[in-house]
Structure 1
Amino acid sequence: MTRSLSVRWRLTIAYTVIVALSGAVLLTLVYGLVTGGEVRSGSVTTEMTPGADDDGPPPVPPELRDDERTHGSGELLQSSWLALAFVTVVSVGIGWVVAGRLLAPVHTITARAQRISADSLDERIALGGPRDELRALADTFDALLGRVQTTVTSERRLVATMSHELRTPLANQQAALDVALADPKAGPDELRAAATTALDQSRRAARTIDALLLLTRAQSGEATGLPSPVDLRATVAEVVEQVRSPDDGLAWEVDLAPATVPGEPDLLARAAANLVDNAAHHNVPHGRVVVRLTVEEGVARMVVENTGPLVAPGAAEDLVLPFRRGSADRTAGGGGVGLGLTVVSAVAEHHGGQLLLKPRPDGGLVAELLLPTP
C-alpha cells in the first residue's frame, strides 16, 4: 500500500501552484500591455516623421526602432519569467512554513489523543488558541471523551457490582448444601431445608441474570421489530391486578386515563410492573399506593406514589443506579435484585422518554414515567 503525500505537503503544493498560476497570469497581462503600448508608440512616431522640422536631427530609421523594441521586449519577458521562477521557488518554502503553522494544532490534538488510553480517560485535549474550527474539533473530542469516561466508569461499576450480586446467592447455596452434607445425621427435614435454601438462591441468581439481560437489551437500543401501538392503560391495569392482593394491607388508589404509546409491549409492561412492584414492596405496613395515568400535551405520564421509608433528597436520583436499593447499596434483602428502577430508566430512554424520581416529605417516593404519544 503506497503512502500518499501528507496534508502539509499537499497544502504547500496547492499554495505554490496558486502563486505560480497567479504570477503567470499577471505576467501575461503586464507583457501584453507593455508590448501593445510600444506598438502604438512606434506607429505614432512613424506617422510624425515626414512632417518633422528639417532643422532637427535626422529621423531614426523604422527598422532600427523595431529592433530595439523587440530586444527590449525579449529582455523584459526573460526577466519576468526568471522572477516568476524565483518567486515560485520561494513560495515552496513559505507554503511549507505556513502549512506547518496551520497544522500545528492538529499535531497537538493527535499527540494528546494518542496518550489517552482506557486507564487515563480523565485526560483532555484542552486545546488553547482562538475559537476556530480546530478548537471546535478539540472541544468536540473532549466532550466525546467525557461521555466515554462516564460509560466506561458505569460499565466497570456494573461489572463489579454484578459479580458481587451473583456471588452472594451462589455462596449461600453452597453454604447450605455444605452444611447439610457435612452432617452425617442430617434427616429428611434438614436436607429439605438445605435444598429449599439452595433453590431460593438459585432463583435469585436467575432473576438477576434475567434483569441484566433485559437491561442490556433496553440500553443497547435493540428492538424486536417496528414499534407498535401499546395500550398503556390496559398494560398498567393488568400489572396492578397482578401485584395487588387483598391481604397486602395496602390502600390502593388507581386512576387510569386512556393512553396509547408507540413502543415494545414487553419492555413497557416490564417497566410498569417494576414501578408498581417497587411501590408495593418498599412500603410501610398499612401504607398507600397511588397509580395514575394521564396524557398531557403529547406525553403519557404514569405516576406511581407510595408511602415508605424516608429517602434523602439527594439520594433519589441514585436509585436508578444498578443494584441500588433505597438507602442500602447491595445489602438489602428481599425478593428484589436491585435493578428495577435501572431497567425502567433504560426502557424510558429506549422509547424517547424519561424517568423522574422525587422523594415524599413524609416518606416514600413519587416516580413519574414519561412517554411520548403519537
Structure 2
Amino acid sequence: MRRSLSVRWRLTIAYTVIIAVSGAVLLTLVYGLVTGGEVRSGSVTTEVTPGADDDGPPPAPPELREDERTDGSGELLQSSWLALAFVTVVSVGIGWVVAGRLLRPVHTITERARRISADSLDERIALGGPRDELRALADTFDALLGRVQSTVTSERRLVATMSHELRTPLANQRAALEVALADPDGEADDLRTAATTALDQSRRAARVIDGLLVLARAQSGEAVGPPSEVDLRAVVADAVEQVRTPDDGLAWDVHLVDLTVPGEPALLARAVANLVDNAAHHNVEHGHVTVRLTAKPDVGRVVVENTGRPVPPETAAELVLPFRRGTADRTATGGGVGLGLTVVQAVADHHGGVLVLTPRAGGGLVAELRLPRQ
C-alpha cells in the first residue's frame, strides 16, 4: 500500500501553493498596471520652431518606441518572476516550521494516548496552552477516559462481587450435601433437611443468574422488538398482587391511574416488580408501603414509598450498584440478591427514563421511576 503524505507535508504544500498563487496574481496585476501606464503617459521632449504661431495647438507628442517599452517591461517581468520563485522556495521552509508548531499539540496527544492502557486509565492527556480546538479535543478525550475508567472499574467490581454471590450458595449447598453423605446411618429427616438446604441455595444461585441476565439485557441497549404501548396500571397492579399477602403484616396504600408508556413489557414489568418487592422486603414489622402512579403529558411516574431503617443520603445513591443491600452489603439474609435496584436503573436508562432514590424522613426510602410517554 502506498504511503500517503503526512499532515505536516500537506499543510506545507498548501501554504506554499497559496503563497505562489497569490504572488502570481499580484505580479500579473502590477505588470498590467505598469505597462498600461507606460502607454498612456510616455514622456518625450519636443522642439518649438522660432517664429511659429504660439496660439496654435501644440503638436501631438510622439509615442515611445516599441523596443524601449519592451526592454523595460521585460526586465520588470523577469525580476518579478525571479522574486516570486525565491519567495516560493523560502515559503516551503517557513511552511514546514509553521505546520510543525501547529501540529505539536497533536503529537503530544498521540504520544500520551499511546501510553494509556487498561491498567493506567487514571492517566490523562492534560494538554496545556490556549483553549483552542486542539485543547477542546484533548479535554474531550480526557472526559472519555474518565467514563471508560468508571465503566471498567464498575465491571471489575461487578465480576468480583458476582463471583462471591455465586460462590456462597454453591459452597453452602456442597456443605449440606457433604454433611448428609458423611453419615452412612443418617435418617430420612436429616437427608430431607440437607436436600431442602441444597435446594434453597440452588434457588438463590438461580435468582442471581436470572437477575444478571435481565441486567445484561437491559444494559445492552438492544431491544427485542419495536417498542409497544405498555399499560403501567396493569403492570403495577399485577406487581402489587404478586408481592402483597394477607399475612405480611404491612399496610398497603395503592393509588393507580390509567397510564401507558412505550417500551418493552417484560423489562418494565421486571423493574416495577423489583420496586414493589424491595419496598416489602426491606421494611419493618407492621410497616407501610405506598404505591402511586401519576401521569403527566410528557412523563409517567411510578412512586413506591416504604417505611424501614434510616437510609443515609450517600447510601441511597449507592443502592443502584450491583449487590448493594444498604447497611448489610453482600451479607443480608433473605430472598434478595442485591440486583433489584440495579436492574431498575438499567431498565430506566434503556427506556430513556430516570430512577430517583430519596431517603424518607423517619426511615425507609422513596423510589421514583420516571418514564417518558413519547
Output the CA distance in 2 between the equivalents of 1:36 and 1:283.
100
Q: CA deviation at 1:272?
A: 0.7
Cα distance between partner residues in 2 of 1:206 and 1:175: 18
Aligned residue number for residue 172 of structure 1: 172
The CA distance in 2 between the partners of 1:13 and 1:258, in whole Å, is: 68
**Tell me, what secondary structure is at the counterpart of 2:48?**
coil
Residues 1:362 and 2:344 are matched in the alignment: no
What is the alpha-carbon distance in structure 2 between the residues aligned to residue 124 and residue 307 of structure 1?
45
Match of 2:197 in 1: 197
**2:320 corresponds to which residue?**
320
What SS does structure 2 have at the residue aligned with 1:134?
Answer: helix
Report the TM-score when normalising by structure 2: 0.93
The 3 A distance-change label for structure 1 pair 358 and 64 is: closer
- Report the counterpart of residue 234 of structure 2 in structure 1: 234
Asked if residue 69 in structure 1 is aligned to residue 69 in structure 2, the reply is yes
Q: Report how far residue 191 of structure 1 moved.
A: 1.9
The superposition leaves residues 36-90 of structure 1 with CA deviations (integer Å, 9 ceiling, x where unpaired) of 2222344x64xx74xx2359xxxxxx89943333222222111111111000000
Say which SS state the counterpart of residue 261 (structure 1) adopts.
strand
Which sits farther off after the overlay, 24-33 or 205-214? Answer: 24-33
Paired position in structure 2 for 1:108: 108
The code of the aligned residue for 1:364 comes to G
Superposition deviation, residue 32 in structure 1:
1.6
Matching residue of 1:53 = 48
* 1:304 and 2:304 are equivalent in the alignment: yes
Cα deviation 1:264-311 (Å, max 9, x = unaligned): 111111011101111111111111111111113422111111111221
Could you tell me which runs of 5 or more consecutive residues in structure 2 were left unpaired when the two chains were aligned: 51-61
**Which residue does 1:59 correspond to in 2?**
none
Query: TM-score, with normalisation over the residues of structure 1?
Result: 0.93
Partner Cα distance (1:77, 1:326) in 2: 88
What are the residue-to-residue correspondences of 1:9-28 with 2, within 5 Å? 9-28=9-28
Which residue identity does 2:221 align to in structure 1? Answer: G
Q: Deviations over 1:116-174 (max 9, x none)?
A: 11111111111111111111111111111111111111111111111111111111111
Q: Aligned equivalents of 2:64 and 2:202: distance in 1?
A: 115
Match in the other structure for 2:142:
142
Q: Following the alignment from structure 1 to structure 2, what is the Cα–Cα distance between the partners of residues 18 and 312?
A: 66
1:251 lines up with 2:234 in the alignment: no
Q: Residues 39 and 244 from structure 1, CA distance in 2 versus in 1: closer, same or farther, beyond 3 angstroms?
A: same
CA spacing shift, 1:64–1:367, aligned 2, 3 Å: closer
Which stretches in structure 1 are left out of the alignment for 5+ residues?
56-61
The residue that corresponds to 2:272 in the other structure is 272
Q: Which moved more, 1:342-351 or 1:291-300?
A: 291-300
Structure 2 equivalent of residue 58 of structure 1: none
Aligned-partner SS, 2:319:
helix
Q: How many angstroms does 1:243 deviate by? A: 0.8
Alpha-carbon separation, structure 2, partners of 1:233 and 1:92: 73
Distance across 2 between alignment mates of 1:64 and 1:219? 89
Distance in 1, matches of 2:158 and 2:360, equals 28
**Alpha-carbon separation, structure 2, partners of 1:355 and 1:66:** 91
CA distance in 2, matches of 1:77, 1:8: 33
The correspondence of residues 73-152 of structure 1 with structure 2, limited to 5 A, is: 73-152=73-152
Cα RMSD (Å) of the superposition?
A: 1.6
Write the distance in 1 (CA, Å) between the matches of 2:269 and 2:248: 22
